[in-house]
Amino acid sequence: MAKLYLVPTPIGNLEDMTFRAIRVLKEVDLILAEDTRNSGKLLKYFEINTPMRSHHMHNEHRSVEGIVRRIQNGETIALISDAGTPAISDPGFLLTRACVEAGIEVDCLPGATAFVPALVNSGFPNDKFVFEGFLPVKKGRQTRLKLLAEEQRTIIFYESPHKLLKTLAQFVEYFGAERPVSVSREITKLHEETIRGTVTEVLNYYTENPPKGEIVLVVSGKK
């Protein structure tokens, strides 16, 4: 039966691709990719020859209706992002919601996502946690940080390397200089590292060692 598959792809190490993910991507009628150039390298590596078209944050509002119609007409379609699980701080939510509302089966495969290993590696309590993704760039950023300052559960953020120092400085202001934090960078890749300490200690480290690559920030909840 025609359906939508959400297929996680490796966040760095290609060995994290699952056998099932490879099989599904070979069997579907079409693959929707956040960046066809980036995903083309992945498909070539695993000898996947399925047709592919772009589906990203700039066109997903326009393309969702047409994709739903194609599935309703009998096609099985897979959605992948540049890395990790679709819809986790990546395109995917709008299409998933539209398919659910249209009564189309949605099947999300288990697989790579950056925040899970970062959370586990932090050493902070992980029985309860809050995933915030990316903080607002401007509007609402300070309001969000004020609310999160009182959060008692472990908090997880995604951040870009050129904004990390600014974010850590704001953590000092809103969470306090001594709040424990863990920064995981380049997870599963060659230069993977996790730096733990107080917000001040980690800020000092990255002031002296400018960060590169994908970053996950894990903050201990308020005691």
Q: What is the CATH number of the domain that holds 175?
A: 3.30.950.10
Task: Compute the Cα dihedral for 26, 29, 34, 39 and give only its sign.
Answer: positive
Query: What is the C-alpha separation between 170 and 142, in angstroms, rounded?
Result: 9
DSSP code at position 178: T
C-alpha of 104 from chain center = 24
Say if residue 22 is in the same domain as residue 46: yes
Domain shared by 142 and 192, yes or no: yes
Q: Please tell me the total count of domains within the chain.
A: 2
Same domain as 209, residue 121? yes
173-192: per-residue pLDDT in tens?
Answer: 999 999 999 999 999 999 99
Q: Which of 55, 74, 108 is the last residue of a domain?
A: 108
Residues 20 and 74 in one domain: yes
Is residue 22 over pLDDT 90? yes
CA distances from 156 to 117, 177, 219 (A): 11, 18, 6
Do the Cβ atoms of 193 and 186 come closer than 8 Å?
Answer: yes
> Could you tell me if 87 and 182 lie in one domain?
no
The domain in which residue 171 lies consists of 115-219
Rounded Cα gap, residues 42 and 85, in angstroms: 15
Q: What is the mean predicted confidence (pLDDT) over 18-30?
A: 98
Say if residue 119 is in the same domain as residue 68. no
163 and 130 together in one domain:
yes
Residue at which a domain ends, from 74, 108, 142: 108
**Residue-level pLDDT at 59:** 80
8 and 104: one domain? yes
| Residue 39 one-letter amino acid | S
| Whether residue 215 sits in one domain with residue 120 | yes
Among 54, 79, 108, the domain boundary falls at 108
pLDDT at 212 over 80: yes
Gap between the Cα atoms of 193 and 19, Å rounded? 27
